[in-house]
Amino acid sequence: METPTRGYNLKVPVNGFDLSYDDIGEGSLPIIFLHGYPFDKTMWKHQLDSLKPTHRVLACDIRGFGKSTDEETPLSMDLFAEDLILFMDALTISSAIICGLSMGGFIALNALNKYPDRFEALILCDTQCIADTTEVKEKRNQIIEEIKLDGVTKFNEGFIKSVFCNESFSHKKELVKNLHRVVFANSQHIISSGLTALAERSETCSTLEAIKIPTLIICGREDEVTPLAQSEFMHHAIKDSTLQVIDNAGHVSNLEQPDEFNKHLSDFLKAFTEAGFEPVNGSKRMV
């Protein structure tokens, strides 16, 4: 049976595994959303619903997460970036706007550095360009050892507490409950493999000045995982980028304040469209 080309929870063979994705809406230039660790593509539901009347929007389950199961391959940001490009090839998407949150931002910056001609605009959400320090890397490795001994519950519960601002725990209990379910849906192996991929990632700060495409940076003011200072650094390094800070939001600003987040997306996309873009060497480029 042929795989449907548009819709929800589709699958396409990519780079040795079946990648699960949503592909809805209409538009000449697709927007691809990459989720954070250890989440899945459902975290982008509000954004897809908001943009689908005017844009073609896609959300991917990154290898190993959500319905993109892979319990064997060692995970890395380089591999995730390669998966992204091959996914675009499989769907005959020559160029796209890329939007990544946290780990999704790491992947977006990695892919943009290696394949700059494949992307027309960049949206970085609650993410950063630095690599782990030796101290942070050692801490991740210690957590992996603890998970081997005691399982994932302690880590998962602690991580969930770290990604929300205080207001969300008191006023958005259903949201917290839903993300709790998503995090605990991951296998122990994927939780640990993802931590290894995060610990071993390379820095991309040195590549920021080379970014010439329109760039939007969004960060929750109370983000403790990738603090606002990291977004401010990227904003200063990427020429003509736009920084939007969302109050009453932590590391998952698109979930905690979806209306404000979506307005920033829409304003950025409107400005991008009004500026105009036209094909250059088979790829669409801003003019």
The b/e string for 170-188 (b: 16+ C-beta within 10 A; e otherwise) is eebeebbeebeebbeebee
Question: Which pTM was predicted?
Answer: 0.95
Task: Kindly state whether residue 286 falls inside one of the protein's structural domains.
Answer: no
Segment 196-213, tens digit of pLDDT: 999 999 999 999 999 999
Task: Give the number of other Cβ atoms within 10 Å of residue 19's Cβ.
Answer: 24
Task: Kindly state whether residue 236 falls inside one of the protein's structural domains.
Answer: yes
Domain interval for residue 241: 7-278
The pLDDT assigned to 4 comes to 52
Cis? peptide before 30, omega within 30° of 0: no
The pLDDT assigned to 1 comes to 40
Task: Kindly state whether residue 147 falls inside one of the protein's structural domains.
Answer: yes
| E strand residue ranges, 126-274 | 215-220, 242-246
The domain total for the chain is 1
Spatial contact of 44 and 24, defined as CB atoms under 8 Å apart: no
Task: Kindly state whether residue 283 falls inside one of the protein's structural domains.
Answer: no
Task: Kindly state whether residue 136 falls inside one of the protein's structural domains.
Answer: yes
The pLDDT assigned to 188 comes to 98
The pLDDT assigned to 287 comes to 33
Task: Kindly state whether residue 220 falls inside one of the protein's structural domains.
Answer: yes
Q: Which residues of the chain fall short of a pLDDT of 70? A: 1-4, 277-287
Task: Kindly state whether residue 1 falls inside one of the protein's structural domains.
Answer: no
The pLDDT assigned to 277 comes to 58
Half-sphere exposure of 27 (CA within 13 A, CB side): 22
Task: Kindly state whether residue 64 falls inside one of the protein's structural domains.
Answer: yes
Give the closest residue to 35 by CA, choosing from 21, 51, 25.
Answer: 21
Distance CA 20, CA 253 (A): 24
The pLDDT assigned to 5 comes to 74
Q: Can you give the CATH number for the domain in which 176 is found?
A: 3.40.50.1820
